[in-house]
Structure 1
Amino acid sequence: MNDSRIEQLLNLAGGQENIRLVQHDDVNTTTLTLLNRKGLNLSLPVVSNLDADIRITGDQCYITLEDEFSQLYHMLQVMGVRKAEGDALPETRRTRKKSLLYFISDVFRPLMPAILGVAVLKIVLAIITLFNVYSSTDSSSLMDSQTFLIFKSIGDNVYYLLPILVAVSTAYRLKSNVYVAAAIGGLMFYPQMTALLSGEEDVHFMGVPIVSQALFFSASIWVILTIYAASYLERVVERISPRAFKGILAPLLTFLILVPLVLMILGPLGTWIDQQLPDVVDSLLNDVPIVAIMLLGAVYSLMMIAGLHYWLVPVMINELMVNGFSLIIPVMLVAFVAQAGASLATGLRSNQREFRKLAFWATGTALLGTPEPAMYAVNMRKRASFYSALLGGAAGGLYFGLLSVKAVALGGSGSLLDIPLFMEAGSLNLLHVCVGLVISFCVSGVFTYWMIGKERKHA
C-alpha cells in the first residue's frame, strides 16, 4: 500500500476528517465508515483504480476495499483513524455480488505462495531435465537419483493435493467446516476409490454409471461447487437441528446425501463426455482442422477448469501414433502463453504493489508451463483479463491451424521449454510456432490492457 494510493483513498472519502471508523475482517477486506456521505467524491477516476465497493444506506456510507495483508487498515490506524470504543457497526460491509470467476480467484489467492513456490521448483527441475536431454555427456544417473526424485515429488505434491487445498480455501471463504471440506476434497485420493476408478471395470453407484476418471471429479470447479452446496446445507441444518445434534447432523447429511448426489450428477456427465468428446475432437480435426485448433485454443483454459483437458491426452497419443505428429499439443502451449500475456497486462494496469508482483511472477510461470497462478489468481479477478486470454488463445490457435503447426513428440507441460518438440527437419514449423506464440501473447495482452483502461474510464 503506497502513499499515492492512501492519498487517492482519502480524496475519495472526502478527507481523513470524514472517516468515522475503519475496520478489517477475516475475509481480508477493510471497510471505512464515513461521517457524511455528501463528502464522498465519486467524480474521481481513482474509484475503479482502487477497486472500491461503495454502499450508501440512509445517512451512512461505507467504502470496502480488498486488503489481504492488512496494510491499508494499519496505515489508517497509524494516521489516527480508529474505531471508537463501544461504537458498534452492524453489517459494516456488503457482500459484493461477484461472478463465479471472481469467487474462484478469491479461493486460489491464499494458495498462491505454495503454488508459485513449487512452480519455480518444477521449472528448475525442467531446465535440468532439458540440459540432461541435450547434453553430450551421459548424466542419466542424476535423473535417476533418489535426490532428484524426491525434489520432483516435492514439486508435484502441491498439485496432487490441490483438490484438498481448494476445498479448505473455499470452506474458509464461506465460513463452513474446513475439516468436512478437506475430507470431501480428498475423497478421490482414498486408495479404494482410486482402485475402483482405475478403469479396469465399469463402475456404478446406485445404478448410476461413474466415469473412470478420478481427476475429473477432482477438478477445481466441481470441488468449489460441492463445498458451496455443503456450506449451504450446513447453515440450513444447523439452524433447524436440535441442540443435541448441532455440529453432527450437518456433516452426516453432507457425507450421506450431498457427496453421493454430486457423484450421481457428475458420473453420467463424465460418462457422456468420455463417449462424445474424443469423437467430436477427432471429427473436427479431420473435417475442419483450422476451426478445431482455433476453438481448442480459445476454450482450453475453460477445459482445464472443468477437468475436461484430461480427455485430450489419449487423442494426442493417438495422433502421434497414427500421424507421427500432433496438432493438439501446440494448443496447450498457445493457451498458456495467452494467459501469460493477459496476466502481464493486468499487472501493468494495477496500482496494488502486491497484486502487481503476483501478476508478474504468474506471467513467468505461465510461460514456463504453470498457468494456474496467472489464470486463477490474476486473470479471473477481472473478466476483461480472462476473456482476453481466451481471445488470445483463439488468435494463436487460428494461426497454428492455418499453418498446420505440429508437435513431433509428446511433452505435455505446455512450456516454452517444450519448443524443441516442434523442430522438424526441412520445414518452418518452429518459426511458425514462435510467430503464433507472439500473436497469442500480444493479442491477449493488448486487449486486456485496453479493456481494463476502458472500464476505468466508464466507471
Structure 2
Amino acid sequence: MSKQAQTAQSVLDKIGGESNVKTMTHCMTRLRFELRDNDKADRAALENTPGVMGTNIAGTQFQVIIGNDVPKVYEEINKIAAFGGGSAQADEGPKKKKNPFSALLDIISGIFTPLLPALAGAGMIKALLSVSDAFGWMAADSSTYQILKVIGDGTFFFLPILIAFSAAKKFGSSMFLAAAIAGAVLHPELTALFGKGGAITFLGLPVTVVTYSSSVIPILLAIWASSYVEKFLNKFIPSALKLLFVPMLTLLIIVPATLVAFGPVGSLVGQGLAGGITWLIDNTGIFGGLVLGGTMSLIIMTGMHWALVPIAILSLAEQNYDYILPIMFAANLGQAGATFGVFLRSRNPQFKALSLSTSFSAMMGITEPAMYGVNMRLKKPFVAGLIGGAVGGAIYGLFHVKIYVMAGGAGLPGIPAMIGPTFAYGMIGMAVAFAVSAVVTFVMGFKDIPVPAAETNAPADAVAPAAAETETVAAAAPVIVEIRNTALNSPATGTVKALADVDDVTFAGEYMGKGIAVVPTAGIIAAPADGIVNSLAVTKHAVGMQTADGAELLIHVGLNTVRLKGKHFNVLVEEGQAVTAGQPLLAFDIQAIRAAGYDLTTPMIVTNTPEFERFDALGSGSIEAGQPLLKLEVAKAPLAALGD
C-alpha cells in the first residue's frame, strides 16, 4: 500500500468513517469535508497522522491539511469510499446552507473587516490627540489641533457611509446607491430639522429623532432591506429604464423607511447592546472580566468576536468608551505569553523559532498562527493562554479598564487607545496576562514536538518521529551538493504582505512552508524564476513549479477561490512546461473575483522549506511583477535539483 493510500485510510477512519461524510472536495493543499457531525472527527489523532500537516474548521467545513499530495490522497479516499464524485473536478459539491448564526457572523466579518484600516488609522490620530491633551503638547483651540481632530473624527462621524458601502458589497447591491442612502440620513438639513423639536412626519408617518452619525445598526438594516428592493425592482423594470428608475425608487422607499422604522429600531438595539456590556462590567467587575478574558480566545476561534466589533463601535459612539476590546487585549497577550513559554521550554530548534515568531505576531494582535500553529497543537499551552487571559481580564474588570478610541489592533499597536484614567491598569493587565501564561506553560510543560533523528540533542521525553517525518529525514540524507542562493521575483504586481498576516491559518501558520504573499492589483501571475511547471489546479487558481535552483513553489491566487471552480481564471501554461522568469502562468479577472466576495491575497509558498536555511524578504509595500521579492539561502540540495 502506498504512503498516500495509508494516509487516505487513516484520514477516513479518524473523521468518523464514510458514514460521517456528506461531501468531500479538495483544493491545492486541503481536503475539505462537510461532515454530519464534526465532533466525531478525532482532530488530535488526525494531526498525528503521517501525511497530515494539521486540521482546521472554517464555518461548517472540516479541513484536513495535506499539502502537495492532496490530489493523490483525494483519489485514494475515493477508491475506498462512495462519495466525492471520484474526481478533483467535483470541487465543492452541492452548496450547503449555513446555519443562521454562522451566516450572521460571516456577514458581520465581511462588512467590518475592510473598514478596520480606516477605523484604526483615524483612531490612532484621536489617540495621539489624547496624548497631546495629557502632556500639553498642543493648544486645543489651535487650528492645527482642530484640523487633526477633524481628520480623526471624520471616519467615525461618517461611519454609516463606510458601513453602507461595505454592506452593499457584501449583500450584492449597488455600493454607490448605498452610500447615497447613508448620505441622506446624515444630511445637515435633516440634522437641523431634528434639532428644531416638535413632531416630524413623512406622508403622515411619524419620524423619530435619531442621531445617525457614528451609528451602526440603522444603516445595516437599511442596506440589507435596500438589497432586496433593488433586486425586486431590477426584476420587473425594463432594461432601458433601470438606470433612472431603480435608483430613484430605491431611495424613495429606503430613506423614509430608515427614518420611520430602521433608524429607531436600530438605535434601540444598539443602545441595548452597548448598555448591556457596560452593565455587565459595572456590576460584575472582576468576575465579568475573568469570564470574558478566559473565554475570549475560544470566542475568537469560533468567529463570534466579529459580533463584538460593532458593539464596541456602538459603545464608543454612545458612551465614549468601551470595555470589550481591552479584554481582547488581555486574551491575545495571554496566547502570546503561552507561545513564549513554549519557546523557553521546547528543545526543538525549528519549533522554538516558530514559537518565538508567532508569539511576537500574537503580541501585535494576530493570534491565529500562535493558537493554531503552536498552542492548540500542544494543548496545554492553549489552556495556559486561557488562564493568562482570565487573570488579565479580571484585572481589567476590577479596575474597569476602558479604551477611548478605536486604534490599532487588540495588541501592542492598540496601546494608545487606552490612554486615559485607566491606562496604567491596562498596561498592568497586558503584562500580567503575558507573564502568567508564559509561567504556567513553562511550569505545566507539554509534550514537545520531536527533534528530527539526525539531531543528537533530543530531549529525554521526546517521542519518536512519526512515519512521515522519518521518511522525510531519510529522503533528505543524500543531499550532497551546495548550490547558490536563490532570489525569487514577485509573481504579481500589487502590495507585499507577510505570510503571518494572511487570513488563512494554513498559510499564516506555515503548515505548507515559509513564504510571502502579494495582494495583486493586476490579473497576471508570472513565473518568479526559471523552472518547470509541475502542477496546475483543476480549478485554475493555483500553480506549482520547481525552479532551476531546486525551490519547489506553490502560488495560490486568493483565499478559498477553489470555490469558483475555475471561473474567472485562465491557465496560460501546461504541466511539465519549462518557463522563464517573468513568463505569464495564470490570468484572472480581479474585479469579478472581488465582486464575488473573495480575498485575492496570493501566497507564494516554498513547499520544500527544510532545504533552505534562511528566508529574507527583498520587497515591501508596492511591488511590480518581476521585481525581487524573496531571497532563499540554500543549505543543501539533492544532485537532481541541478538537472544532473
**Please, what TM-score do these two structures have when normalized by structure 1?**
0.50
**Please, what TM-score do these two structures have when normalized by structure 2?**
0.38
- Structure in which a larger fraction of residues adopt helix: 1
